């Protein structure tokens, strides 16, 4: 069984997908663009975009009854790997050791011209 997670505290999906799906004890959070759900705007800098994407993930997890401590894996998508260090610095403020497993990849483009998109898997 799968149950969608919906919260107004994170941006709505921009396509045919859910903000997150709960299946058993797993919470699969869709890639979060750095959109502020209150204003619909996106910051310019990659570090600020990472902060907003992670804030969106945190809001979705809270709506599912979980926390950032429950995150076991993330995927970070960057349009420029030169932003890797700046994103890492922000990322480290949202997690503590033991950190989630993670992949980070450079992609040609992201929806809405974002520089950063982050997805997560949490187990509660």
What structural domains and CATH numbers belong to the chain?
Answer: 3-123 (3.30.1330.40)
Mean of the per-residue pLDDT values of the chain: 97
Confidence band for 67, pLDDT divided at 50, 70 and 90 = very high
**Residue 91, pLDDT score:** 98
Q: Provide the whole-model pTM.
A: 0.97
Radius of gyration (C-alpha) of the chain in whole angstroms: 13
Mean pLDDT computed over 85-97: 97
**Residue 81, pLDDT score:** 98
Confidence band for 17, pLDDT divided at 50, 70 and 90 = very high
- Residue whose pair of structure tokens reads 């960057």 in the numeric block: 78
């Amino acid at each position: 069984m799968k149950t969608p997670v919906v919260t107004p505290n994170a941006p709505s999906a921009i396509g045919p997908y859910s903000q997150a799906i709960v299946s058993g004890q797993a919470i699969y959070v869709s890639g979060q663009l750095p959109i502020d759900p209150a204003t619909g705007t996106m910051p310019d800098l990659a570090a600020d975009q990472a902060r907003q994407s992670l804030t969106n993930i945190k809001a979705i997890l809270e709506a599912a009854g979980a926390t950032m401590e429950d995150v076991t894996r993330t995927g970070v998508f960057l349009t420029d790997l030169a932003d890797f260090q700046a994103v890492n610095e922000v990322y480290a403020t949202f997690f503590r050791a033991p950190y989630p497993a993670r992949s980070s990849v450079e992609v040609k483009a992201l929806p809405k011209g974002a520089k950063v998109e982050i997805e997560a898997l949490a187990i509660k």
